[in-house]
C-alpha cells in the first residue's frame, strides 16, 4: 500500500514521535516496503477463522485486595526527570 505524507503525519501523532524531513521520507519508504511484504497475509484464507488473542484459555486471576509491599514512592521519584513536592513535574497542561 502507498504511504502518503498525510499517513506519516497521522501515524507520527499516534506514535507521539516527531520526525525530521529526511526521517519522514525514510519512514514512508520503509513502511511501504514492510506493508507490501505483510500483505502476503492477504493470500491466506481466514474466512471462518477466529482471531487468536490468548494462547491458553484461562479465567481471570483474582487475589484478595490486601495492601502489600513497601511504599516505594520515594525510590520511584528518584527515577523521575523532574520532581516537585513529592510529585512528578510536567509542563503546564491547561492554557
The contact set with other proteins (CB under 8 A) reads 7, 10-12, 14-19, 27, 30-31, 33-35, 37-42, 44, 46, 49-56, 58, 60-61, 63, 72, 75-76, 78-82, 88, 90-93
Nearer to other proteins, 21 or 37 (CB): 37
Alpha helices in the chain, H assignment, sequence order: 5-15, 21-38, 73-77
> Which candidate, 8, 62, 2, places its Cα nearest to that of 33?
2
* Minimum separation from the CB atom of position 86 to other proteins (A): 13
Cell output for 39: 500483505
Amino acid at each position: 500500500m502507498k504511504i502518503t505524507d498525510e499517513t506519516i503525519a497521522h501515524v507520527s501523532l499516534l506514535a507521539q514521535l516527531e520526525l525530521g524531513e529526511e526521517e519522514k521520507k525514510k519512514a514512508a519508504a520503509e513502511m511501504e516496503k514492510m506493508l507490501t511484504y505483510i500483505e502476503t497475509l492477504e493470500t491466506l484464507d481466514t474466512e471462518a477463522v477466529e482471531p487468536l488473542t490468548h494462547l491458553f484459555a484461562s479465567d481471570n486471576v483474582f487475589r484478595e485486595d490486601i495492601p502489600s509491599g513497601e511504599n516505594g514512592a520515594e525510590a520511584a521519584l528518584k527515577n523521575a526527570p523532574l520532581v516537585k513536592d513529592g510529585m512528578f513535574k510536567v509542563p503546564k497542561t491547561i492554557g
